[in-house]
């Protein structure tokens, strides 16, 4: 019998883009004075009839959703989709233009860790100050003080001003305070994107405790799909200020990844201008990709290179590295690793090269291709980091799960299972 603790009804937020006023009181007064005398606006730009015609922007459009007690709701969407605006409204940092959000219970928001930390104050003093800003009473903080210090792991430096802390210590202390908040509803924005991998794990674990064990409601915004998948049972997808999906976290993530047709930041081909080297890559292109997106089930991932060499260069080879979005190196390969080195005796001129990586290997996600054209003596002719980027998607569902996401795994090769 979980009751509804957050009820958003038709939340909308309107921003006027561009400069509305002239920026100074004097400017606004001059404009007003000019208008009342029927003179043209002294601040109007040439060719602009009316400086009041600012472009409008709906950061949120008619968002409605309910959140039940104890539920962990993920909010996903591209940059600018309205996630942060939604959190700001729920955190009461700003007000909606229309619509209402009704909240039951104490709500605390973490749009940032370490809000209000004063660099000159010691760790101890900042714990109290930051805790109070987040809505804890002094008595509450005192009772949790030791726990907070232990969690942060900065106990030796607790009486040192935080400006002397390393950035890691600072963030750990800041998160430790936030993690010991005990609101009924916790709103978290991307704060896990700080600290080292270990600490991120610790934070995520703490958040899981908060929502799974302690039964508190969590709203979680992140670009880290794995974190959303691990933490949230349900997710909503925002796109251009509208709510486009509301349902299970896995479905929402799949919807977000596949509906994202603009493919922000993905580029499936690149052409390079002439450089002053003996050899260079003129063009590189990912083949058979639609908008830089490849199906997991593609037989091959094909990348075509167009090389240009001014003369025969013995020992020249092309190295290729494929990285995933978390910076893991997935594949390292070069043309000279095979018995048959296709560049071994290159002729001067244009060389068209086909590179084929096996399909059904890369798990769904975003990848980057870095290449370098070089010789064995470490002379690098042409190296471009992240020259291409592409995304592997998987529309295969099995029992409602996108089963090739394989959380925790680096690759997702197709494995054969057979009864003998």
Partner 1 sequence: MSKEKEKEWDLVIGAKPKFFDLNLKSLWRYRDLLFLFVKRDFVAQFKQTILGPLWYIIQPLLTTFIYIIIFSKVAKIPTSGLPPLLFYLSGLVVWNFFAACINKTSSTFVSNAHIFGKVYFPRLSVPLSIVISNLVTFGIQFVLFLCFLFYFVVFRSFDLNINSSVLLLPWLLLIMAALGLGLGIIVSSLTTKYRDFTHLVGFGVQLLMYASPVIYASSILPPQFSFLVKYNPLAPVIEAFRFAFFGQGMLSYTGLVYSTVVAFAALVIGAWNFSRVEKDFMDTV
Q: CB-based burial of residue 121 (10 Å sphere; 0-12 exposed, 13-18 middle, 19+ buried)?
A: middle
**Minimum Å distance from CB 385 to partner 1?**
34
**Minimum Å distance from CB 101 to partner 1?**
4
Q: Which residues bind partner 1 (CB under 8 A)?
A: 7, 15, 21, 24-26, 28, 88-107, 109, 111-112, 115-116, 118, 120-121, 125, 128-129, 132-135, 137-138, 161
Q: Which two tokens stand for residue 147?
A: 């726990």
**Minimum Å distance from CB 150 to partner 1?**
22
CB 121 within 8 A of CB 161: yes
The angle formed by the CA atoms of residues 71, 77 and 78, to the nearest 5 degrees, is: 155
CB 220 within 8 A of CB 233: no
Nearer to partner 1, 121 or 331 (CB): 121
**Minimum Å distance from CB 306 to partner 1?**
49
**What 3-state class would DSSP assign to 288?**
coil
Q: Can you state the angle between helices 138-152 and 123-133, rounded to 10 degrees?
A: 120
**Minimum Å distance from CB 91 to partner 1?**
6
Nearer to partner 1, 99 or 413 (CB): 99
CB atoms within 10 A of CB 117: 21
**Minimum Å distance from CB 341 to partner 1?**
57
**Minimum Å distance from CB 15 to partner 1?**
7
Distance CA 228, CA 275 (A): 44
Nearer to partner 1, 89 or 289 (CB): 89
Nearer to partner 1, 236 or 280 (CB): 236
Cα distances (Å, whole numbers) of residue 401 to 43, 236, 257, 384, 408: 58, 17, 14, 37, 16
Distance CA 181, CA 207 (A): 11
Antiparallel, parallel or unpaired: β 316-324 and 365-375: antiparallel
| Strand extents, DSSP E, 232-324 | 234-239, 242-248, 269-271, 279-286, 293-295, 300-309, 316-324
**Minimum Å distance from CB 209 to partner 1?**
22
Nearer to partner 1, 56 or 352 (CB): 56
Nearer to partner 1, 141 or 279 (CB): 141
Nearer to partner 1, 119 or 315 (CB): 119
Q: Which two tokens stand for residue 142?
A: 């005192």
Nearer to partner 1, 158 or 342 (CB): 158
């Amino acid at each position: 019998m979980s009751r509804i603790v957050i009820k958003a009804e038709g939340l909308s937020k309107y921003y006027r883009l561009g400069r509305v006023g002239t920026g100074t009181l004097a400017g606004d007064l001059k404009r007003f004075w000019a208008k009342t005398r029927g003179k043209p606006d002294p601040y109007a730009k040439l060719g602009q009839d009316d400086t009041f015609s600012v472009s409008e922007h709906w950061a949120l459009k008619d968002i409605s959703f309910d959140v039940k007690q104890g539920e962990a709701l993920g909010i996903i969407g591209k940059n600018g989709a309205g996630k942060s605006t939604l959190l700001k409204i729920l955190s009461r940092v700003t007000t909606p233009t229309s619509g209402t959000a009704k909240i039951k219970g104490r709500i605390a928001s973490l749009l940032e860790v370490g809000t209000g930390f004063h660099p000159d104050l010691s760790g101890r003093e900042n714990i109290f100050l930051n805790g109070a800003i987040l809505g804890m009473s002094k008595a509450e903080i005192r009772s949790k003080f030791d726990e907070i210090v232990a969690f942060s792991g900065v106990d030796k430096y607790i009486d040192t001003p935080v400006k002397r802390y390393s950035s890691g210590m600072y963030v750990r202390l800041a998160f430790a305070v936030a993690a010991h908040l005990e609101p009924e509803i916790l709103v978290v924005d991307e704060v896990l994107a700080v600290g080292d991998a270990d600490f991120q794990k610790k934070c995520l674990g703490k958040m899981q405790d908060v929502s799974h064990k302690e039964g508190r409601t969590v709203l979680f915004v992140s670009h880290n799909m794995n974190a959303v998948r691990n933490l949230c049972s349900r997710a909503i997808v925002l796109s251009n200020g509208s709510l486009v999906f509301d349902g299970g976290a896995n479905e929402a993530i799949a919807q977000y990844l596949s509906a994202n047709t603009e493919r922000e930041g993905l580029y499936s081909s690149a052409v390079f201008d002439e450089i002053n080297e003996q050899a260079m890559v003129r063009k590189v292109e990912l083949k058979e990709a639609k908008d830089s997106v490849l199906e997991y089930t593609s037989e091959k991932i094909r990348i075509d290179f167009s090389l240009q060499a001014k003369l025969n260069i013995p020992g020249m080879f092309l190295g290729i590295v494929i990285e995933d979005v978390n910076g893991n190196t997935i594949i390292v390969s070069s043309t000279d690793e095979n018995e048959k080195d296709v560049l071994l005796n290159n002729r001067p001129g244009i060389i068209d090269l086909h590179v084929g990586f096996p399909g059904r290997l890369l798990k769904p996600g975003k990848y980057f291709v870095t290449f370098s054209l070089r010789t064995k003596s470490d002379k690098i002719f042409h190296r471009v980091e992240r020259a291409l980027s592409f995304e592997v998607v998987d529309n295969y569902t099995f029992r409602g799960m996108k089963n090739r996401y394989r959380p925790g795994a680096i690759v997702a090769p197709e494995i054969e299972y057979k009864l003998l």
